[in-house]
Amino acid sequence: MSRIAGMFQRLGAEDRTALIPFVTAGDPSPEVTVPLMHRMVAAGADLIELGVPFSDPIADGPVIQRATERALARGVRLRDVLDMVRRFREQDSETPVVLMGYLNPIEIMGHGAFAAAAREAGVDGALVVDVPPEEGHDLVEALRAENLDLVYLLAPTSDGERIRRIGAVASGFVYYVSVKGVTGAGNLDVEGVAAKLAEIRARIDLPVGVGFGIKDADDAARVSAVADAVIVGSAIVGRIEQLADTPEQIPEVVAGFIAELRQAIDTASHA
């Protein structure tokens, strides 16, 4: 069983919802990321979604775009991100790591080379935003050959046919984007999310993570009542941005926020 499937199975048995923080690798500097990942796990993160910096991040809102710019300014590239995961794995063999990124840097490395290097570094899966499920893409085959999970995005606009198509190729979990637009958007409609999740679950037998627009403990609690995982990006990355000049404070402040989210989720799912 994959590390991701194992994590969801373990939490499911306890009737708990997973907490998935997103951070951009190398933001605000390369040294911060690995210690930050460990602190997030200690504070209650169940899986880490690690963003690979890319110069044209079409799906990302301003907060994550600025994080990407900080990381790129420090020269952080795909190889460096893999290296961070390798170092993270020296002390953590349990927590799944999913890389979130865009196709271009992967194509430059080569699909097969990327998949092999990701596997070897200890990556568990990838969410490649600009690879749609209908393209029987080489990358998909390459990742599958290395037993890496493939995470796909579903949106409020995804119809039954698209949900079915994604169900045929996805593994690990599927990511439901709870609001239209880019990351960091507002207006979380939990009832709308619940209705769409029922439609997804009728067609896909995988855990469903929900992200986009979850900005505090209250949002996390409400979403955790309906989702298998709560994904939080911009609210964390915004805190990192505020501490960009005092990076030594980042792990502690982010861990404090993660602990708050964790507690809200556990209280809500046991309610």
Catalytic residues: 49, 60
Name the residue nearer to ligand IGP (CB basis): 45 or 120.
45
Q: Which residues of 235-260 are buried (b: 16+ CB within 10 A; e: fewer)?
A: bbbbebbebeeebeebbebbbebbbe
Identity of the residue numbered 187: N
> Which region, judged by CB under 6 A, interacts with ligand IGP, from 37-45, 159-167, 205-213, 245-253?
205-213
Q: Which stretch binds ligand IGP (CB under 6 A): 115-123, 154-162, 197-205, 207-215?
A: 207-215
Region 131-170 residues binding ligand IGP, contact defined as CB under 6 A: 153
Can residue 227 be called a binding residue for ligand IGP (CB under 6 A)? no
Q: Which of 201, 153, 203, 202 is nearest to 178 (CA)?
A: 153
By the rule CB under 6 A, 129 interacts with ligand IGP: yes
Min dist. Cβ of residue 183 to ligand IGP (A) = 4
What's the closest the beta carbon of residue 90 comes to ligand IGP, in angstroms? 25
CA–CA separation, 73 and 221 (whole Å): 36
Query: What 3-state class would DSSP assign to 176?
Result: strand
232 is a site residue for ligand IGP (CB under 6 A): yes
The reply on whether position 231 binds ligand IGP by CB under 6 A is: yes
45 with 19: CB under 8 angstroms?
yes
183 part of the interface to ligand IGP, by CB under 6 A: yes
Alpha carbon 208 to its chain centroid, in Å, reads 12
- In the complex with ligand IGP, the residue whose CB is nearer, 171 or 234, is 234
Residue with tokens 């964390």: 236
Applying CB under 6 A, the site for ligand IGP has a residue count of: 20
Q: What type of residue sits at position 270? A: H
Contact call for residue 214 and ligand IGP (CB under 6 A): yes
C-alpha closest to that of 128 among 97, 107, 150, 112: 150
**What are the residue ranges of helices labelled H in 16-98?**
30-43, 62-73, 78-89
Residues within window 14-33 making contact with ligand IGP, judged by CB under 6 A: 22
Q: Which residues bind ligand IGP (CB under 6 A)?
A: 22, 49, 51, 59-60, 64, 100, 129, 153, 183-184, 211-214, 231-235
